[in-house]
Chains A and B, each alone.
Chain A
Amino acid sequence: EAQVTQNPRYLITVTGKKLTVTCSQNMNHEYMSWYRQDPGLGLRQIYYSMNVEVTDKGDVPEGYKVSRKEKRNFPLILESPSPNQTSLYFCASSPKGQPTFYGYTFGSGTRLTVV
């Protein structure tokens, strides 16, 4: 089954404790992105990757890191989480080029709480 797999689904952590949210897709997609979703603010892009070893900042990159060492994996790293990073996170992927009628395929989401 074609899918984007995120782990974990739920995570509660303490301020300053490094964490990684994993994302893996099995569709051979070139594009991958991380979004966070907060009430009233919608989905905001954190980082994106156009292909292996190619990553760039989205709209809200502060406090996050990513890597793209393999095409299928795009982990999100919070080196020193803070309470303002409490949010619902989505990983998404899409194929490159036209036509890309279906836009993104999303993972199931990770609900992160930083206390």
Chain B
Amino acid sequence: GQNIDQPTEMTATEGAIVQINCTYQTSGFNGLFWYQQHAGEAPTFLSYNVLDGLEEKGRFSSFLSRSKGYSYLLLKELQMKDSASYLCAVRDNRSGGYQKVTFGTGTKLQVIP
């Protein structure tokens, strides 16, 4: 099975930088996703890492270390609209060719003025 851990809540100030960490334990690792989810809405894709290193996309960056089972999502120049939950999700290979995606419980980020 999988075990994914991320902080439950975080608070940061508008304009600042925040880092949301995610640790995981899994076999057959085949990629890590970060999703953003506003309250009551569907998750939306932010980033994908399958190799070690940093992936940058505008204000958002995501880092992966497969050997450490660790990832983080970095949000720069925070805006009020970034207040949302951020879900870390790990995909692994299962028997029969199925690639299962398991989600962490999410980190609720509150951006304050």
A residues at B contact (CB < 8 Å): 31, 33, 35, 40-45, 48, 50, 56, 88, 90, 94, 100-104, 106-109, 111
Chain A: CB-nearest residue to B42: A106
Taking A42-B87, A50-B97, A109-B40 as contacts, is the C-beta distance between A103 and B33 under 8 angstroms? yes
CB–CB A42/B104 < 8 A: yes
Residues of B within 8 A of A56 (CB): 98
Size of B's binding interface in residues, CB under 8 A = 24
**Nearest Cβ on chain A to B43's Cβ, whole angstroms:** 5
**What's the Cα separation between A43 and B101 when bound, in Å?**
10
Separation in Å of the B89 CB from the closest CB of chain A? 7
A108 CB contacts on chain B under 8 angstroms:
41-42
Known: A103-B33, A103-B89. A45 touches B100 (CB 8 A): yes
Q: Is the interface of B mostly helix, strand, loop or mixed?
A: strand
CB of A57 to closest CB in B, whole Å: 12
With both chains docked as a complex, state the minimum distance between the C-beta of B104 and any C-beta of chain A, in angstroms: 6
A43 and B42 contact, CB distance less than 8 A? no
Interface residues of B in 30-64 (CB under 8 A from A): 31, 33, 35, 40-45, 48
A33 to B98, CA, bound (A): 12
Q: Which residues of A have CB within 8 Å of B40? A: 88, 109, 111
A43 with B48: in contact, given A103-B89, A108-B41, A108-B42 (CB under 8 Å)? no
In the bound assembly, the distance between CA atoms of A13 and B38 in angstroms comes to 26
State whether B91 touches A103 (Cβ < 8 A).
yes
- Measured in the bound complex, the distance between the Cα atoms of B101 and A33 in whole Å is 10
Q: How far is the CB of A39 from chain B (nearest CB, A)?
A: 9
- Contacting pair A42 B42 (CB below 8 A): no
Residues on A with C-beta less than 8 A from B100 are 45, 48
Give the docked Cα–Cα distance between A94 and B101 (Å): 11
